[in-house]
Amino acid sequence: MHIVEKAGTKGASLVAAAPYLTEQRYEEYTPEQHEVWAELVRRRRPQLEAHACREYLDGYQFIGLEDDRLPNLSAISRRLKPRTGWSTTPVSGFLPSDAFFEMLDARMFPTTTWLRGRDSLAYTPEPDIFHDVFGHVPMHAHKVFADFLQHYGSVCARIKDANTLERLGRLFWYTVEFGLIREKGSVKVYGSGVISSHGECTNVIEGGCQVRDFDLDEVLNTPVKVDRIHSLLFAIESFDQIYEAMHEAERRLRAS
């Protein structure tokens, strides 16, 4: 039912994102940086083994992350591509939205290569490789989520209206970044911001955050607050739900 449209050679035709593509110079990471990665993983894995959704944990195994070494992005892409068509593509930093959507549409996830220092283990305002790879990339091994993410990029890449983009940005925020899912009656986490942040995840687990059933209209009408821990997040029942929600959003755009 969910057709995987592989990126193929589309990456070669990137326009808006082209200036931001870079390389990961893996051999230049220092032993101290590998140790910081290992420490970040040690801090997050125990909680995630109990509270991350099954699809995230399966994806973590599938992409071959090692607990004590920074990830090699090419090696991850070699595993992911045959399964969902996605690659984990190094970029030089924050991307403007047109470049970001173009890459998602091409099933290329823009990934930073820098790693936070030991002085900011708990939080970094700018996404680093830990947020991008540990937080996001395991979900790209899940076929329905992978198709949802590509479709999100393809729809947003065609939108010029800032207000519409802001509303769709809320869908991204409350799913890809801070999404929750119900699994056998328990709330589990899958969004990268909750996966990679001990504070956000603990807040969900300990009930500091209200969890409502995912509803497309409510999500589109709930502004994002980036400067404080979440007091409201949304739980889906399955990844089919956000796949269908994105198609519903697209239908509405076409009808408007």
Q: Which residues are catalytic?
A: 131, 136, 177, 196
Query: Minimum Å distance from CB 1 to Fe ion?
Result: 27
Give the binding range for Fe ion (CB under 5 A) out of 84-92, 115-123, 142-150, 187-195: 187-195
Radius of gyration of the chain (CA): 17
Strand order in the sheet with 232-236: 186-189, 180-183, 232-236, 210-213
Per-residue DSSP letters for 70-104? Answer: ---HHHHHHHHHHHHS-EEEEBSSPPPHHHHHHHH
Query: Minimum Å distance from CB 244 to Fe ion?
Result: 23
Q: Does 192 bind Fe ion (CB under 5 A)?
A: yes
Query: Minimum Å distance from CB 178 to Fe ion?
Result: 9
Nearer of residues 111 and 192 to Fe ion, judged by Cβ = 192
What does residue 90 show for φ and ψ, rounded to 5 degrees? -65, 135
Q: How many residues bind Fe ion (CB under 5 A)?
A: 1
Give the binding range for Fe ion (CB under 5 A) out of 7-15, 46-54, 142-150, 185-193: 185-193
Helix (H, G, I), strand (E, B) or coil at 171: helix
Query: Minimum Å distance from CB 132 to Fe ion?
Result: 7
Give the binding range for Fe ion (CB under 5 A) out of 80-88, 91-99, 154-162, 192-200: 192-200
Q: Does 88 bind Fe ion (CB under 5 A)?
A: no
Give the binding range for Fe ion (CB under 5 A) out of 30-38, 78-86, 105-113, 191-199: 191-199
Burial 158-191 (b: 16+ CB within 10 A, else e): eeeeeebeebbbbbbbbbbbbbbbbbeeebbbbb
Closest CB to Fe ion belongs to which residue?
A: 192
Q: Which 125-144 positions form the footprint of Fe ion (CB under 5 A)?
A: none
Q: How far is CA 180 from CA 44, 132, 192, 207, 236, in A?
A: 17, 18, 10, 13, 6
Query: Minimum Å distance from CB 77 to Fe ion?
Result: 18
Nearer of residues 203 and 253 to Fe ion, judged by Cβ = 203
Contact status, residue 73 vs residue 134, Cβ threshold 8 Å: no
Straight-line distance from the first to the last Cα atom of the chain, in angstroms, rounded to the nearest whole number: 27
- The residue ranges that bind Fe ion (CB under 5 A) are 192
